[in-house]
Structure 1
Amino acid sequence: MSVIHRAGRHGLWAGLFGCVVACGASGAIAATSPGFNVGSANVAIADPPVPRPPGKACTVQLFSGFTFRDFSDHPYSYAPPTGCGTSWSKVVLEADFSVTAGRQFDRTASVWLGGANVYFGTTQEPSATVSPSWHIERDVSDFASLLRNPQTGQAILGNVVDGTYTGVISGSARLVFYPANVLAPKVDAPDAVFPLSDGTAGGTVALNTGTDQLSRTLTLPTNIERAYLDVFAQGQGGDEFWYSCVPDAQSTEAQSCGGGAYREVQVSIDGQPAGVAPVYPWIFTGGIDPYMWRPTPGVQTLNFLPYRVDLTPFAALLNDGKPHALAIGVTGANGNFAVTGNLFVYQDPHRKVLTGAVTANTLAGQPAVASVDNRLTDNAGVIGGAIATHASRSFRTAGYVDTSRGRIVTDVNQTVAFDNTQSFAIDPSRYLQGIDQLTTVDSTTKTRQGPFGIAVTTETHVDYPLKASFGTTFDGAGNVTGAPSAVTQGFSRSFVKKVGGLVLYRSDVDNSIDTADTLAFTNGAVSGHSGQRSTQVFRFKDNLGSCYGRDVVTAAGVLSAATDGGDCARGRNTLLWFTHPDSSPDTSRTEDPGLF
């Protein structure tokens, strides 16, 4: 097998040759055992660590021992590592957080560098006797162009500490750099990143209605070959439980929030639709019933993943040297969605100006519209039935650019579907609501280089399932007696990259949690809980031999079991260093349209 790659860049096969052929088994790392203590009430999650390449690493501390007691700024300064050069195979963000025992809400946490978001998530709630701590890891190699120069940054974690809310949150963060070497070549990172945030220091932007937008006018390089927008959209305030909301006309009858249940991110360029992103139903550690999430929070709760929108078909438009307004909106927003994004671009190293054209955009004529089937009934004050919300559309965007390596044509076809069915049972003895929701995305991208180039195809399928039931029960006097809750939440992503019928790479990720608890009430206040249990299952496999499995089981608020290696050969977790087992965006090796 021969290996060919552009100078200064490498792709899937170059990385594989350097690792599998040259370094054999040493190119794979075995995941550590869970390292959790059965019986512990501290945070325990099944998510995989970021696989690390071989070689000695350099660490740069971003901040240490920050305490978050209010909504003040927490700035810091960054300088590139010394003795590690500027050619890295991987860069990993590591962060550690904790909160003192007591009473405290879940809080949104984010880390910014040069105005760009490098971490977004929420915090674990404490209890009167438990001071939880947790560890975060993110592959931030795509920010290499930003990390080569000194930057200012800030950590944002608004908190309230007073006589009622006593939990003080602390945090530290660092970047770990792995210099490129013969076994771990330089990452094929984007050439530039352009943040979409709240000002030069960074920060999310609040969208309160479906017409609000986060919009930034950018004058971009004129030699863009590829462009990707990583999007975060987190529901807060009135939209924290957006998946439980019903149309305004039924909100009083259903005793639920209004605005409907349909949410979708809209991406536009100069006012014209250019892409969409599904909204993941993240549930905070205080959501629905806080005891359900102790000690294992919901899927991605502590560490959100962005959704990557491929804007490559619009590269020719972005290359014209004119300013362009890139905007993010949330269809159906009805309270507060915190949004941000990062635009990553790859540039032609041999031409300063690329020409081309946008050849198709059927999304432009497709507004985001959901249909609602209301089957609620009211029989003398006893309410039952369901409200179903459905939306689905297919669209195509396509374009080309003429580069130093010939014409590159990109054709994106995508189908996005949303289904949410809410059932209700409301009478003098109970209020029960059930949710059965599923968001799916099927995306196929074909890329062809030159008049006789072979088409490289990537196929991605994403599922965001959510099933939940919650409510309250009442005695004959109308007093609340209990509140049973149960949630099953998932995230799955299948990815295939192929040339013709030859599969170059395939990966499958599945992350799910099943949890339940029942609150007890005395005189209208929570007096206890019972039946807490949860199971988180994480699975990752690819066609190169990587495999990761972990199961975490809790009961009565403590860890009861944790096992590694589920569904892996010999029950052993093995991850090649360049994989993304968490399903974070992976442009450099799996989405690169090149063959090598």
Structure 2
Amino acid sequence: MSCFYLAFTGLLLFLTRTVPSAAAAPAPDRFHKPFRLKSSDPKPESQEFFELTNPLPSDRLTPSCSLTVINNSFANTIDSPPFSAPYSPPSDCSPPWPRVVLDFRADSSGDQYDRIAAIWLDGAEVFRTSTAEPTDTGIFWRVRKDITRYSSILYKPQLNVTMMLENVVNDIYTGVYDIHVSFLFYKENIVPNDVRFPSIISPSQNHYDNLGTAELGLFKTPPDLIIPISSDGERGHWFRVESESDVHVKKVRFPNNTIQVVLELYASFHGNDEFWYSNPPYSYIRMNNLTTARGNGAYREVFVTIDGKFVGSEVVFPVVFTGGINPLFWEPVVAIGDFNLPSYDLDLTPFLGWLLDGKYHDIAICVDDAISFWLVNANLHFWLDHGTPKVEAQSVVYNSPALAIQRREAFTMLDGSFRIKANRKSEFAGWVKSTAGNFTTIVSQQFKLTNVVRFYFNGTYKIVQQRVKAKRDSRIRADSGNLVGRTVVQRQYPLTVITSTVPLPLIGSLGSKEEEMYMMITNVSHALRERRINGLSSSTLNNRQESEGWMKVKGHSVISGSGSTWQKYNYRDEFGCYSRTVLALEGKLAIDNTTFSCASSA
């Protein structure tokens, strides 16, 4: 049963009962790479890893001050509480700050799996990341994230900043993650030079112009209040979702002078659901007597409800962590979203008509069709009317048809195909009358998903193809009917994973079979395409990766192999363009070209 009971499911089954045979190794899977290719360099140095992304406007600024908030080594931290340290705003540059940036630096050496991590300030998540898998000679990386939208928390003294990174260190897994995190505070902007850069590069005269309406609200300023929808923090402030029936709820009372509210959602997938987009249904697993726990089909949707009513959902971007599919793909260029996992904004302003009653309301998060495990939490961002203790509000449109989903199965023994088509479309509207005027917010959201998983050659050849198209449109109209604010976000997530597995039996010296060894040949193609409209400005992003290679695997350890990744990152807005193209071969950069020319980034 769905975690949201309005879902409608159409199911078509075409099954042929046969005697099952031995299954091939599950793919895709998670690996680590204890082997090291011999280097011609007699003194190999620590290598920098990175994720392709756009530079921040603040990268061309000098911070007025910086504050170290985390300086810690995460060794054998499994089942331990998160690292915690006190936080107060820096005394040498008091607020307000036009920009605040989180500067994350990490290094590690040895053998280790990738690990998920997050940072919270006063229980509100501000950053989610995953680690790269280290080498004997060491790796390091750096991530910067603009956290200006969390200014209302950053202003407060005597808070706690916490970080969760559960790691295992023993005789086999030796990699310790050394983490250093600083907050960089900017008091002034610089005047852009004569070169035309896109808005992601050049700071504008209005400090907040480059941040979207959904992030900064009608008045394009950071929110006045943030309330986390998170756990008590004993194992990090995220909620752990073990199944679709695992619903996490927090009671919240909305301030009576709220004029706009946006829920920021964080979600990531792990364990048996790390490759949810490739999971076969349980019928395939049972009929073939397979031992894998990765099942329940290849559809997942993160839901948010208030008092049991649907208010928004997200089919999240399929981030591939650095130990996933083939870890040789992700060195030194990691997969899209690895170092800075995306969050997702849901505009809840249309519902203020029934939320501003002074009562507590149940904010719930769940994941449809989930298996163990997902990590989810959220932040509520409030914009308040400081001229009155209470505003008037009314919800006028609530149109949320049920999810339409079709599933088709056709398989004989280990070969067959599984298809899923799903779509959802909803629209909500409501008005708020405040001292600034009477404004109506209309929010529409829709997505379409198609997913096909195919098995050939006794299950040893697997093709996964998924396409997700999503659109969220938030419009704000004045009482006169004039459009005074609009944010449109359109995203596409195409993903293809092709894996061929060839068993390589290994016989021990006494004739006993040792741990299974096999050859795995894999191709991965995935992309993030995004178009944003913020008022009169617009931007487009096309971020695409193509990876191919092979590896010889024993258990979950890579014995030998080869991998390459080509990636092109294109960003364009009305101010200019940014493009970077890289090619990584055998863990080294073969091509790395950056340009600000719009002609080359078309």
TM-score, normalization: structure 2? 0.81
> Which residue does the alignment assign to 2:594?
564
CA shift for structure 1 position 152: 0.9
1:506 and 2:512 equivalent? no
Within 5 Å, give how 1:76-91 maps onto structure 2.
Answer: 76-91=85-100
1:199 maps to amino acid: D
1:47 Cα deviation (Å)? 1.6
Within the alignment, does 1:239 sit opposite 2:276 as a pair?
A: no
User: Which residue is equivalent to 1:527?
Assistant: 559
Q: Which position in structure 2 is the counterpart of 1:314?
A: 351
Deviations 1:9-60 (A, max 9, x none): xxxxxxxxxxxxxxxxxxxxxxxxxxxxx99853133222322175652211
| Backbone CA RMSD of aligned residues | 2.6
Partner of 1:30: none
Q: Check if 1:541 corresponds to 2:548.
A: no
Residue 198 of structure 1 pairs with residue 256 of structure 2: no
Give, as a single letter, the amino acid of the residue that structure 2 aligns with 1:461: Q
Residue type at the aligned position of 2:578: Y
Query: 1:375 corresponds to which residue?
Result: 410
Contact 1:214 1:339 survives alignment (8 Å) = no
Find the aligned partners of 1:224 and 1:75 in 2 and give their Cα distance.
32
What is the one-letter code of the residue matched to 2:230? S
1:369 Cα offset (Å): 5.1
Letter in 1 for 2:363: L
Quote the residue 1:121 is aligned against: 129
Indicate if the aligned counterparts of 1:95 and 1:136 stay in contact, CA closer than 8 A: yes
Q: Does the CA contact (< 8 Å) of 1:74 and 1:156 recur in 2?
A: yes
Percent identical: 26
Quote how far apart the aligned CAs of 1:426 are: 3.1
Residues 424 and 433 in structure 1, CA contact (< 8 A), matched pair in contact too: yes
Deviates more, 1:162-171 or 1:307-316: 307-316
Q: Distance in 1 between matches of 2:559 and 2:336?
A: 28
Mapped to 2, the partners of 1:163 and 1:323 lie a distance apart of 50
Q: Secondary structure of 2:237's partner?
A: coil
Change (3 A) 1:179 1:523: closer
1:430-445 → structure 2 map (5 Å cutoff):
431-445=460-474
Q: Note the C-alpha offset of 1:457.
A: 3.8
Query: Which of these residues, 459, 462, 470, is aligned with residue 491 of structure 2?
Result: 462
Find 1:225's aligned residue among 259, 266, 270: 259
Establish whether residue 109 from structure 1 lines up as the match of residue 120 from structure 2: no
Q: Distance in 2 between matches of 1:39 and 1:511?
A: 30
Match of 1:588 in 2: none
Q: Secondary structure at the match of 2:372?
A: strand
Check conservation: 2:322, 2:335, Cα contact below 8 A. yes
Per-residue CA deviations over 1:453-477 (Å, capped at 9, x if unaligned) read 3454433211111110113113699
- Distance in 1, matches of 2:362 and 2:556, equals 51
Equivalenced residues, count: 518
Q: CA deviation at 1:153?
A: 1.4
Letter in 2 for 1:375: A
**Is 2:108 aligned against 1:99?**
yes
Whole-angstrom CA distance in 2 between matches of 1:311 and 1:518: 46
| CA deviation after TM superposition for structure 1 residue 160, in Å | 0.9
- CA deviation profile, 1:541-568 (whole Å, cap 9, x unmatched): 111x132111121001211111101653
CA shift in 2, pair 1:292/1:253, >3 Å: farther
Determine the structure 2 residue equivalent to 1:577.
none
Correspondence for 2:183 among 155, 171, 175: 175
Contact 2:328–2:564 under 8 Å retained in 1: no
Question: How far is 1:186 from its partner?
Answer: 5.4
Q: Is the 8 A contact 1:39 1:560 kept in 2?
A: no
Distance 1:218 1:523 in 2: 47
TM-score of the aligned structures, taking structure 1 as reference length:
0.82
Moved more, 53-62 or 153-162: 53-62
Name the residue aligned to 2:49. 43
Structure 1 letter corresponding to 2:232: G
1:315 shift after superposition: 2.2
Per-residue Cα deviation, 1:215-241 (whole angstroms, up to 9, x for no partner)? 110112111111111111111111111
- Whichever residue aligns with residue 510 of structure 1, its letter is N
Aligned residues of 1:96 and 1:136 also touching (Cα < 8 A): yes
Amino acid at match of 2:258: I
Please list the CA deviations of residues 525-554 of structure 1 after superposition, one character each: whole Å capped at 9, or x if unmatched.
753113x110122111111x1321111210
| 1:130-141 map, 5 Å | 130-141=137-148
> Residues 391 and 161 from structure 1, CA distance in 2 versus in 1: closer, same or farther, beyond 3 angstroms?
same
Q: What one-letter code is carried by the residue in structure 2 that aligns with 1:209?
A: S
SS in 2 for 1:321: coil
Q: 1:24 maps to which residue?
A: none
CA distance in 1, matches of 2:598, 2:477: 36
1:194 CA displacement = 0.8
Work out whether residues 443 and 460 of structure 1, in 8 Å CA contact, stay in contact via their aligned partners in 2.
yes
1:485/1:517 contact within 8 Å kept? yes
Q: For 1:425, which of 456, 464, 468 is the aligned residue?
A: 456
CA deviations over 1:417-460 (Å, ceiling 9, x no partner): 11111111132xx7011111011112222211123434544332
Alignment check: 8 A CA contact 1:42 1:558 kept = no
**How many Å separate the matches in 2 of 1:118 and 1:333?**
24
Query: Aligned pair 1:386/2:417, yes or no?
Result: yes
Equivalent residue for 1:553, pick from 580, 583, 598: 583
Shift of 1:83: 3.4
With over 3 angstroms needed to count, the CA separation of the structure-2 counterparts of 1:126 and 1:253, relative to structure 1, is farther
Query: Does the 8 Å CA contact 1:375/1:385 hold for their aligned counterparts?
Result: yes
Query: Which amino acid letter does the alignment assign opposite residue 147 of structure 1?
Result: L
Q: Aligned partners of 1:274, 1:319: CA distance in 2, in Å?
A: 16
CA distance in 1 between counterparts of 2:141 and 2:451 reads: 33
Residues 206, 522 of structure 1: alpha-carbon distance in 2 compared, 3 angstrom cutoff = closer
Q: 1:564 to 1:57 in 2, by over 3 A?
A: same
Cα separation, partners in 2 of 1:567 and 1:482, compared to 1, 3 Å: farther
Q: Is the 8 A contact 1:537 1:549 kept in 2?
A: yes
Partner of residue 415 from structure 1, selected from 431, 436, 446:
446
Question: Is the Cα–Cα contact under 8 Å of residues 180 and 186 in structure 1 kept in the other structure?
Answer: no
Q: Is the 8 A contact 1:274 1:361 kept in 2?
A: no
User: Against the structure 1 CA distance between its residues 182 and 169, is the aligned structure 2 distance closer, same or farther, given a 3 Å change threshold?
Assistant: closer
Q: Distance between the aligned counterparts of 2:105 and 2:436, measured in 1?
A: 44
**Structure 2 stretches of 5 or more lacking a match?**
1-43, 192-204, 209-220, 507-512
